[in-house]
Amino acid sequence: MDTAEEDDIGWFDEGMMIKVFEEEIKKHKKGAIFTVDIPENNWYYVVLKTYDDKEKIKITYKKNKS
């Protein structure tokens, strides 16, 4: 018999899962329990989001012309 620990996909970084799955995760806040259904892959998940999304910051550098 499977246990919850065996079915836990754990942490994953952006780009590790298919885009549709990641987009669904991003729609929810920490502590939310929700489902993700991706019929074309025969995937159906019940998700407990246990973290907050990290804010992304774009950094650019300019060289000074001397």
Per-residue pLDDT tens digits for 36-64? 999 998 989 999 998 888 777 788 888 88
Tell me what pLDDT residue 33 has: 96
3-state secondary structure the chain: CCCHHHHCCCCCCCCCCCHHHHHHHHCCCCCCEEEEEEHHHCEEEEEECCCCCCCCCCCCCCCCCC
User: Is the entire prediction scored with pTM above 0.85?
Assistant: no
Report percent pLDDT > 90 for the chain.
35
Q: Do you know the residue count of the chain?
A: 66
Contact 46, 35 (CB under 8 A): yes
* Mean pLDDT for the chain overall: 83
